[in-house]
């Protein structure tokens, strides 16, 4: 079982103006994030615009990424797809190039939404691979909630050792923690509270533009310096609230660009934030400099 404690940064995919992947900047970003002290990198994350990448592009990201990381931190690769055979194919490829774990969404488009159907989906994938599966609870995007009862069944599978919870419901999050220690927070705006509640790790998109602050927050909480953690949190919160309530990925990428991480470009069908939103984002980011 891979140790996914700490800050697992849900890494952006840097694009050129024409929407092509800039692999040179991708490798430079990996070095920057590793040097900031992150404990893991999630390649092909939602923040990395996974739905708009081809399977071939994902494979290339994972091949180049794992080689560049070279064991300096953990590697989680997203191998989500609507077709189960494709999920397994993507998963096996990521495993073959050195991924420590796989992040896999439930079958989110008109697939099974009942507990039995979701269990069978993950069971088939589990039997085909030998590294950790990170399940994914993000009902606001998929329309599917992973119930606590389902989680109890899933963690009995050989490789289903983690679940990323991005729903933002701290009550459910704490119920998950009663079931398994392998809960990873994925809701930016609840991070500090989830860590204080006992969450061992996070998968964090907002860390793209503040990796040093993210690592420091984690260190403060695990060392029980909660007052200092909350002081830091108050500087982080304005921008986190902005990205969570606005266009998430375009906002994260623009914030990252403003702070020296990446190009700020998105791939269609996403579009950049508006001029007014850009001004509001820049004001929110000012708190980080206090």
Q: Give residue 159's region: left, alpha or beta (phi > 0; psi -120 to 50).
A: alpha
Question: Is 80 exceeded by the pLDDT of residue 39?
Answer: yes
Q: What is the predicted pLDDT for the residue at 1?
A: 87
pLDDT in tens, 172-227: 999 999 999 999 999 999 999 999 999 999 999 999 999 999 999 999 999 999 99
Question: Is the pLDDT confidence value at 110 over 80?
Answer: no
pLDDT at residue 61, as a whole number: 98
Query: Under CATH, which number does the domain 6-229 receive?
Result: 3.20.20.70
Q: Give me the helices (H) in 108-165, please.
A: 115-126, 139-142, 148-154
Strand positions, DSSP E, the chain: 6-10, 40-43, 74-78, 101-103, 132-137, 160-165, 183-185, 201-204
Report the pLDDT value the prediction gives residue 21, as an integer from 0 to 100: 98
Question: Is pLDDT above 90 for 20?
Answer: yes
**C-alpha–C-alpha distance, residues 166 and 105, integer Å:** 12
Does residue 109 surpass a pLDDT of 80? no
Closest CA to 102 of 111, 89, 112: 89
Mean pLDDT of 54-72: 98
- Which pTM value belongs to this model? 0.96
Q: In DSSP terms, which residues pair with 30 in a beta bridge?
A: none
Model confidence over 91-108: pLDDT tens digits? 999 999 999 999 999 988
At 112 the pLDDT is 83
164 backbone dihedrals φ, ψ, rounded to 5°: -90, 125
pLDDT band at 273 (very low <50, low <70, confident <90, very high): very high
Alpha-carbon distance of 206 to 10, in angstroms, equals: 8
253-270, pLDDT tens digit by residue? 999 999 999 999 999 999
State mean pLDDT over 132-141: 92
Indicate the average pLDDT of the chain: 96
- Tell me the pairing of strands 74-78 and 6-10: unpaired
pLDDT band of 113, cuts 50, 70, 90:
confident
Identify the pLDDT of residue 111: 78
Give the pLDDT confidence score for residue 159 in this predicted structure: 98
Residue 36 and residue 212: Cα distance in Å, rounded? 5
């Amino acid at each position: 079982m891979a140790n996914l404690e700490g800050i697992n940064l849900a890494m952006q995919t840097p694009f050129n103006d024409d929407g092509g992947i800039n692999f040179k900047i991708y490798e430079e970003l990996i070095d920057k994030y590793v040097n900031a002290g992150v404990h893991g990198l999630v390649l092909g994350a939602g923040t990395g615009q996974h739905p708009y990448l081809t399977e071939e592009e994902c494979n290339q990201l994972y091949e180049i990424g794992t080689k560049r990381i070279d064991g300096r931190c953990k590697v989680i690769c997203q191998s989500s797809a609507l077709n189960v055979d494709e999920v397994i194919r993507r998963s096996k490829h990521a495993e073959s190039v050195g991924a420590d774990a796989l992040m896999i969404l439930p079958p989110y488009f008109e697939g099974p939404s009942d507990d039995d159907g979701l269990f069978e989906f993950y069971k088939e994938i589990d039997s085909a691979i030998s590294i950790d599966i990170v399940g994914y609870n993000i009902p606001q995007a998929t329309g599917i909630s992973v119930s606590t009862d389902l989680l109890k069944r899933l963690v009995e599978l050989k490789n289903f050792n983690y679940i990323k919870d991005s729903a933002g419901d701290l009550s459910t999050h704490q119920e998950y923690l009663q079931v398994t220690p392998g809960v990873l927070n994925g809701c930016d705006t609840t991070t500090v509270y989830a860590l204080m509640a006992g969450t061992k790790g996070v998968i964090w998109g907002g860390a793209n533009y503040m990796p040093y602050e993210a690592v420091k927050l984690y260190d403060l909480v695990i060392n029980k310096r909660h007052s200092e953690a909350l002081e830091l949190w108050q500087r982080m919160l304005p921008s986190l609230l902005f990205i969570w309530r606005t266009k998430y990925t375009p906002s994260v990428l623009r914030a990252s660009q403003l702070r020296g991480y990446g190009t700020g470009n998105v791939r269609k069908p996403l579009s950049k934030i508006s001029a007014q939103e850009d001004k509001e984002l820049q004001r929110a980011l000012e708190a980080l400099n206090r």
